[in-house]
Amino acid sequence: MRYMISSFLLALAFAFPMAGAHAAEAPEAEVQAEAPASPFMIEKAVLRPTIGPVRRSAGYFTLHNHGEADRLIGAELEGAGSVELHTHIKEGEVMKMRRIESADVPANGMLIFKHRAHHLMIFDLEGPLEDGMSVDGALIFEKAGHVPVTFSVMTPDLSGGAQKGEGMKHHGSGH
C-alpha cells in the first residue's frame, strides 16, 4: 500500500511542473501568433464629398513603404458597395479613366493615388459623404493583406494631387 501511495505522489509531483511549463509557454505562443507590424504608412487619405444624390466618390492617398516590394490589389470602405483601383491613360488627345487590377508598391518607396492618376473609385455608397466626416476602410495588399486606414472627407486640391488639409496619417500597424 505504501508503494502505491508513494508512486501516486511521485506521479503528481511530475504532473504539476509539466502543467506549469505548458502554462508558461502559452503566452509565448500567443505572441508568436500575432501579425507582424505593417511596413506601410498611409497619409493624406482623402475621399471627395458626394454631390446631391450621387452615390459615388473618389479616394486619394500617399503610401510610404518601409519594407519589401508589394502590390496593392484592392480596397474596402465602410458604407460602400464596391471600391475599385483606377488610373487615367491618354489616348491621343483624350484622357480616359480605366480600372486596374493592381498597383506595384516599390520596396522602400512610395505610391501616390491622386487626381488624374491612380485613384480609388467608390461606388454604391449607403449615404452622402460630407466635408468633415471620416470613414474607415482598408487597403488590400498581395503580401501584407488588409491594412486599415481612415479617410477624411474633404475637397482635395486637384492642382497637383496635394490635399487642402493634411488629411489623416495612418500607420498600417494598428489603426
The C-alpha atoms of residue 141 and residue 160 are separated, in whole angstroms, by 26
Residue 50 contacts residue 129 (beta carbons within 8 Å)? yes
pLDDT at 20: 43
The C-alpha atoms of residue 99 and residue 67 are separated, in whole angstroms, by 26
pLDDT at 91: 87
pLDDT at 90: 87
CA angle (12, 13, 15) in 5-degree steps? 60
pLDDT at 159: 63
Per-residue confidence of the chain (175 residues) as pLDDT tens digits? Answer: 444 444 444 444 444 444 444 444 444 444 444 456 789 999 999 999 999 999 999 999 999 999 999 999 999 999 999 999 999 998 899 989 999 999 999 999 999 999 999 999 999 999 999 999 999 999 999 999 999 999 999 997 766 544 444 444 444 443 3
Rg of the chain, C-alpha, whole Å: 25
In this prediction the pTM is 0.70
Cell, residue 5? 501511495
pLDDT at 36: 61
Cell, residue 88? 487615367
The C-alpha atoms of residue 66 and residue 69 are separated, in whole angstroms, by 9
